[in-house]
Amino acid sequence: MLSRALKEHTSNQTVIKEQQEERKKVALKAVKDFSGRLVDLLNADVEKAYNNQRALENEAKILQQHVNQLSKQTMQWATMLENFNQSLKELGDVENWARTIETDITTIASALEYAYKGDGPTDESIQ
């Protein structure tokens, strides 16, 4: 009877160990699955942040290029405006010179016309 009890006990212990081993395998698999899913979720957020960072860096590069182009264009406009302003000043100088020449020519033409008609003072009348 003692040997039979010992066999039953040993048999029960073996069954319990097998059950515990099976439960241990199931628990380890569940922990492994949980860890994998947790890492995947965390990696998804990290990947999203990384992709956003790359997109922002690309946008910043494009923006910098546009700023450089705008700066160059602004400098060209400033140069063109300065050249235009200088040309206007020169045009004003030419216009003033032309008026002066026109006045001088008109005066000379009047004097020549006056002298040609003989309406001017004669040498006798000056004495």
Rounded CA gap, 9 and 42, in Å?
Answer: 48
Cα–Cα nearest to 103, from 95, 115, 93 = 95
Rounded CA gap, 120 and 116, in Å?
Answer: 9
Q: Which pLDDT belongs to residue 122?
A: 56
Q: Which pLDDT belongs to residue 124?
A: 54
> Average pLDDT in the 54-74 region?
97
Lowest mean pLDDT among 33-42, 56-65, 68-77: 33-42
Please write the tens of the pLDDT for every residue from 27-58.
Answer: 999 999 999 998 888 888 889 999 999 999 99
Q: Which pLDDT belongs to residue 123?
A: 53
Q: Which pLDDT belongs to residue 61?
A: 97
The reply to whether the predicted model has a pTM over 0.85 is no
61 Cβ contact list (under 8 Å, min separation 6): none
Q: Dump the DSSP string for the chain.
A: -HHHHHHHHHHHHHHHHHHHHHHHHHHHHHHHHHHHHHHHHHHHHHHHHHHHHHHHHHHHHHHHHHHHHHHHHHHHHHHHHHHHHHHHHHHHHHHHHHHHHHHHHHHHHHHHHHHHHT-SPPHHHH-
> Average pLDDT in the 15-27 region?
93
Q: Which pLDDT belongs to residue 15?
A: 92
Please write the tens of the pLDDT for every residue from 89-123.
Answer: 888 888 888 899 999 999 999 989 888 887 655 55
